Structure 1
Amino acid sequence: MSTTPALRVSRYLAISPAVGRRAFRMVYSTRSARSALVSDEDWTQVQQGHCEALPEALRQSLLEHKILVPESEDEQALVIAHNKAAIRDDDMLYLGISPSANCQLGCDYCGQQHENKRMDDEVMQGVMRRAEQKLARRQGYQRLQIGWFGAEPLLGLASIRSLTPRLQALAREHQLDYSAQMATNGVALTPKLFFELVEQHRVMAFDITLDGAREYHDRRRVTKDGRPSFDTILNNLRGIAADPRLAGCGASVFIRCNVDTRNHEGTLALVEVLREHDLLRHFRFYTAPVHSWGNDAHLGSLSQQRYAEFELELMARLIEAGQAPSLLPKALKPIVCMSVREEAELIDPYGEAFNCTEISQVPAYKEVRFYRLDDVRQPPAPVARPRPFADWNDRIQAGEVPCHSCRILPICGGKCPKHWTDGISPCPSIKHNIESRLTLEMVRLNRQGRLVNRSL
């Protein structure tokens, strides 16, 4: 006679209030990034420890979703082991490249110091040597991904045009898939240049910043000589959206709004502007709190709780506007950022290599050698410098950061090792509004007539 194994509720859960006439709850597992709709009656049985009383199909579904787990299972150890395995087995070589140290804008919260310096031939040759050494040192890569960063990468367009064919040839030589992404202020991103970058340089994802509607954006994201930039960026986006090539090019465009106490109201107004110009149909929109880049910009941010509340209002507005914002992560985050990838790094216009994108050109870190890995213009050191945060998951497991006991660890990964090191909590908004996101998701499902389903 078979017996039901002893089960318990996972520590990595979020549970909505009971909703609707049939009193369903949405239960979301951050260990599986999956959710299930469970009747309030059945969930009461679970809470009371009567898992054996559940219908067999429901019990198996909750086990598969990791909502229920074996009583003896050490969940945190399994999460950390999963993260380490993902890093060990990572098949993507990621290289961030900053082709220019300059930027047209003088955003008041930016921590970088800009100079009229572009990546020269010596540094570009060092980039190629560096990539070749990495591919020779480690087997098993399937992909080569380039992240074009700044200051403003489009001010180093000549270097992008020079490096891309060489990087693509290197990828072909090693039988790797090649792609690139770009973070840009959008000022120089005309439709003509956008499609050159997509079609010739395989830049398949763009992150473009608008910090609220015009009056809000133009108070903070102005050119170095004080001129506004909102209309230039918006017109570029409109031109890209109007081009028939966009639908079939495969590129993703994300409009990012950096939020603090000065512009959060303008963010909602920006949604209306984007809807008015029919841009939400073509591009994805998201917000991020202004954070420290070696400065005190984070002091002007909304509190984490207030930002989480603001974000819910924004998500509801986006749903009304016809866009489907991602309310719940659909995937785990075992690799939190480039800093924990074994070979990933950012190379700046001066030839210096770092394993964090927020160190180069920041005066606060100029004398801090902790993050500096190498100078690509020089022969490689006989012994590689230790990579900061290579032990990040061990630090979490040892309880050195609050992530140790956090229920969203599997979908967050610790968010930002550097910020924790700087003494700044980088916890994402979902930590504070996940139950409300679940309720909002249930409302959306109800409108779609899908609330009767038991799992998602």
Structure 2
Amino acid sequence: MKTKNWSKYNYLFKNEEKYYLYNSLSNSFGELAKDSYSAINHFIDCGDVEILDQTLYEQLVKMKALVNNDQDEINKIKYITLSRRNDNRKLILTINPTLACNFACPYCFEKQHPNIFMDEITEDKIVNYIKNHKDAEIIDVTWFGGEPLLAFNRITSLTKKIQSLKLKYNASIITNGYLLNKNIAKELSSLSITFIQITIDGMGALHDKRRCLKSGQPTFETIIHNIDILKTLNPDIFVSIRVNIDHTNDDDFLKLYKFFQDKHYRNLSLSLAFVTDSSGCHSCETMYSRELQASFIKEMRNKYNLDFSLIYPRPQRNECAIRNKNAVVIGPEGELYKCWNDVGIKNKIIGNIEGKITNEHLLLRYLVGADPLEDSNCKKCLLFPVCGGGCPFSRILNEYEHKHINVCPLIKDHMEDFLLTHALTKNQY
């Protein structure tokens, strides 16, 4: 039997007389028999000893725990990552038809933005921008803001122009949900919108304290009513309910989960988003440390059987579209950014919709700066094959603005706990 090398991307451990192996090259995880665990340990200790159990050997090769060469496997991952960054077939656009918003959320970066709306001239320039990408076969649009539904007429007219180009087109929208009324809900399918993200930060009283109208009026009941209408008229549209968690509303997450569970909607899920501080503008008392984030996730899973994507790496290496040369954020006046976080900030504009680059050094930072593929610490990490390096925006702040933001996935510091939590999930379904 041919002897292979034990991958450095293996994580082998024992817990309460059970034995487990995780490998990040294949992102696979399994429980081992005791004799298999012993045979593997012997192989690791001696190095050149063959694994004689043919079934075990084949399984370890399949999950890439045994490889010819780790670097060859990493080269494949690098090649796929770089190919995605430079794929001309797909154009990824985040379009802000307005920077105006009808909400006054205390933690939102958008609250300082002016009430600017896109005009038809800019709309036509966006269409020309798409046409100038001759190799594009797929257009992926996310409608963002401000509150994009304040400019629903612009969304409608621009969508029709893009659809007329006869390219494969898909869209999503990030909205506070307050204006998602019956008339708009009926139109979404014709606009190729298949995904909606709506933020709800708890049950009625708590949500209304955190996410009220600029007039101070509540929003919870209207948003829930709108979701009910949407799910009646367009049940196939996937709705992601984002819950921004900090110390002021963490107790409401479970209540909100049960509230939506009782509605029995299909194509709807809740996602966690811990409120963190990358700018120094927010009160530290409300923020969740990484330890508390991990504890909250594990508690929700172990006590209440709620599963979250943060527990286990995604099956494919996931990297933010910032790194893609054909991904841009378009402001309402045709200004271009690379990151959602930069919208409305003049010195973060990289160019304009007519193709002129005005801030090349910032553009290059987003494309290749603070690159995890070149980071010595990343390359040594067990999770390098599955981790996209964390948020590029935060990585760039760390490297160029001397911030100290931890960009690593939570699982890195909680490998055994998170893997065992994942195993519990798999065993119950």
TM-score, scaled to structure 2:
0.87
Amino acid at match of 2:317: K
1:209 aligns with 2:174: no
What does residue 425 of structure 2 align with? 444
CA distance in 1, matches of 2:384, 2:283: 23
Following superposition of structure 1 onto structure 2, how do residues 28-47 of structure 1 map, counting pairs within 5 Å? 28-47=22-41
For CA contacts below 8 A with separation 6 or more, give which structure has more relative contact order.
1
- Report how far residue 66 of structure 1 moved: 2.0
Consecutive unaligned residues in structure 1, runs of 5 or more:
449-456
CA distance in 1, matches of 2:283, 2:36: 44
1:180 aligns with 2:171: yes
1:408 aligns with 2:383: yes
What does residue 388 of structure 1 align with? 365
Cα deviation 1:170-200 (Å, max 9, x = unaligned): 2x1xxx3210011111111124422311x21
What does residue 119 of structure 1 align with? 118
What does residue 421 of structure 1 align with? 396
Cα deviation 1:409-452 (Å, max 9, x = unaligned): 3333012111122222233333344432322232234334xxxx
CA distance in 1, matches of 2:360, 2:396: 22
Whether the 8 Å CA contact 1:30–1:410 is kept in 2: the answer is: yes
CA distance in 1, matches of 2:287, 2:385: 26
Following superposition of structure 1 onto structure 2, how do residues 242-321 of structure 1 map, counting pairs within 5 Å? 243=232, 245-246=234-235, 249=236, 251-279=237-265, 281-292=266-277, 294=279, 296-297=281-282, 299=284, 300-316=286-302, 319=305
TM-score, scaled to structure 1:
0.82
CA distance in 1, matches of 2:324, 2:131: 17
- Report the CA distance shift for 1:64/1:128 in structure 2 as closer, same or farther (over 3 A): same
Amino acid at match of 2:228: R
> Partner of 2:67: helix, strand, or coil?
strand
What does residue 154 of structure 2 align with? 159
What does residue 452 of structure 1 align with? none
- Report the CA distance shift for 1:65/1:89 in structure 2 as closer, same or farther (over 3 A): farther
Consecutive unaligned residues in structure 2, runs of 5 or more:
398-402
Amino acid at match of 1:398: E
Identical counterparts, % of pairs: 25
Whether the 8 Å CA contact 2:147–2:175 is kept in 1: the answer is: yes
Identify which of 84, 87, 112 aligns with 1:86. 84
1:359 aligns with 2:342: yes
Whether the 8 Å CA contact 1:91–1:142 is kept in 2: the answer is: yes
- Report how far residue 127 of structure 1 moved: 1.1
CA distance in 1, matches of 2:358, 2:406: 36
What does residue 61 of structure 1 align with? 59
What does residue 70 of structure 1 align with? 68
Amino acid at match of 2:30: A
What does residue 347 of structure 1 align with? 330
Identify which of 223, 234, 237 aligns with 2:224. 234
Amino acid at match of 1:182: I
Amino acid at match of 2:96: S
CA distance in 2, matches of 1:318, 1:194: 33
Identify which of 190, 193, 200 aligns with 2:190. 200
Cα deviation 1:239-268 (Å, max 9, x = unaligned): 333x1641xx3x211111011222222212
What does residue 352 of structure 2 align with? 375
What does residue 316 of structure 2 align with? 332
CA distance in 2, matches of 1:288, 1:95: 23
Whether the 8 Å CA contact 2:93–2:140 is kept in 1: the answer is: yes
Q: Structure 1 stretch 123-132 or stretch 438-447: which is displaced more? A: 438-447
What does residue 98 of structure 1 align with? 96
Amino acid at match of 1:410: P
> Partner of 1:41: helix, strand, or coil?
helix
Whether the 8 Å CA contact 1:14–1:435 is kept in 2: the answer is: no
Following superposition of structure 1 onto structure 2, how do residues 5-16 of structure 1 map, counting pairs within 5 Å? 5-11=3-9, 13-15=10-12
Q: How many residues align?
A: 415
> Partner of 2:177: helix, strand, or coil?
coil
CA distance in 2, matches of 1:163, 1:37: 52
Q: Structure 1 stretch 85-94 or stretch 148-157: which is displaced more? A: 85-94
Cα deviation 1:275-303 (Å, max 9, x = unaligned): 33334x54111101123475524844211
- Report the CA distance shift for 1:270/1:434 in structure 2 as closer, same or farther (over 3 A): farther
1:143 aligns with 2:138: yes
Whether the 8 Å CA contact 1:9–1:67 is kept in 2: the answer is: yes
What does residue 454 of structure 1 align with? none
Cα deviation 1:354-396 (Å, max 9, x = unaligned): 11111012xxx43x3xx422122x564699774332215x732
- Report how far residue 116 of structure 1 moved: 2.2
Q: Structure 1 stretch 260-269 or stretch 293-302: which is displaced more? A: 293-302
CA distance in 1, matches of 2:355, 2:138: 26
CA RMSD between the two structures: 2.8
> Partner of 1:212: helix, strand, or coil?
coil
Whether the 8 Å CA contact 1:291–1:298 is kept in 2: the answer is: no
1:132 aligns with 2:131: yes
